[in-house]
């Protein structure tokens, strides 16, 4: 049977499959109930690998948890999930890839917290697109501008960037809103026109606020 014959009869089947709910539609409808997690490998000044682990909420784009280690393991990743879900505060679904770092203990913690783990298919980073896009932002807006010497330094940099990302950086996917805006203070009767620039990461970025 020729390739053209197969393509002739496969086209109607493909159209029929695409008529249902797509993965993008599922994420949009249930974004409030879904978190996503992933690792980012960062080499230090001596080309030794460091691993940063992130958990992000899909609806708000808020980074829920971040930590750094040199030797990621199943117990370590399971502990990160425990710390990110205190007092039963957990999503219904958690997207992860097929990395071997997610082992039986991680699965047990997810089951105990009543989290259904959604594994992405192989070689499909678009299935975890929001988390992948965040990792790209971390590299471009933070890590590409620093020399990393040790684990604690990387952790401090990422914590500072996450605070900026959550509380000061507007997002196009949210209509230029901020994932976790700070509580607005009581407006002044005659608000001044001056704006103060608060440096972030040594002046790499700035958080602009109206002067009191």
Q: Write the pLDDT tens digit of every residue in 143-201.
A: 999 999 999 999 999 999 999 999 988 887 778 888 887 655 455 555 667 888 888 88
Q: β-strands 63-69, 49-57: how paired?
A: antiparallel
Is 35:64 a contact under the CB 8 Å cutoff? yes
Q: CATH says 23-174+189-210 is which class?
A: alpha beta
Q: How far apart are the first and last CA of the chain?
A: 76
pLDDT tens digit string along 54-98? 999 999 999 999 999 999 999 999 999 999 999 888 999 999 999
Render 47-61 in DSSP notation, one character per residue.
S-EEEEEEEEETTT-
Domain residues of the chain, as ranges? Answer: 23-174+189-210
pTM for the whole thing? 0.81
Distance CA(89)–CA(114), nearest Å, equals 10
How does strand 93-96 pair with strand 116-119?
Answer: parallel
Q: HSE of 33 in the Cβ direction (CA atoms, 13 Å)?
A: 12
For residues 115-140, give the mean pLDDT.
92
CA distance 180 to 167: 5
**Distance (Å, whole) CA 45 – CA 48:** 7
Structure confidence at residue 205 as a pLDDT band (50, 70, 90): confident
Alpha-carbon gap, residue 179 to 59, rounded angstroms: 9
Q: What is the DSSP letter of 144?
A: G
- What is residue 122's predicted lDDT score, i.e. its pLDDT? 87
- Do residues 69 and 53 touch, judged by C-beta distance below 8 A? yes
The sign of the dihedral angle between the CA atoms of 159, 161, 166, 168 is: positive
Question: How confident is the model at residue 12, as a pLDDT?
Answer: 58
Would you state the pLDDT for residue 5? 78
Note the pLDDT tens digit of each residue in 5-61.
Answer: 777 776 655 555 555 667 677 777 888 899 999 999 999 999 999 999 999 999 999
pLDDT at 203: 87
| Distance from C-alpha of 199 to C-alpha of 114, rounded to nearest angstrom | 40
């Amino acid at each position: 049977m020729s390739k053209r014959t197969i393509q002739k009869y496969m086209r109607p089947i493909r159209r029929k499959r695409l008529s249902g709910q797509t993965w993008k539609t599922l994420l949009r409808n249930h974004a409030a109930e879904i978190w996503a997690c992933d690792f980012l490998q960062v080499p230090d000044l001596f080309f030794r690998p460091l691993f940063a682990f992130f958990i992000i909420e899909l609806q708000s784009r808020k980074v829920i948890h971040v930590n750094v280690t040199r030797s990621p393991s199943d117990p370590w990743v399971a502990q990160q999930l425990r710390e990110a879900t205190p007092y039963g505060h957990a999503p219904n679904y958690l997207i992860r890839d097929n990395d071997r770092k997610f082992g039986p203990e991680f699965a047990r913690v997810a089951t105990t917290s009543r989290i259904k783990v959604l594994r992405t298919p192989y070689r499909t980073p678009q299935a975890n697109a929001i988390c992948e896009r965040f990792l790209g932002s971390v590299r471009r807006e933070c890590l590409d501008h620093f020399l990393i010497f040790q684990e604690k330094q990387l952790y401090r940099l990422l914590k500072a960037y996450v605070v900026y990302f959550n509380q000061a950086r507007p997002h196009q996917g949210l209509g230029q809103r901020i994932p976790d805006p700070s509580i607005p203070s009581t407006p002044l009767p005659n608000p001044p026109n001056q704006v103060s620039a608060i440096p972030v990461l040594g002046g790499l970025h700035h958080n602009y606020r109206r002067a009191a």
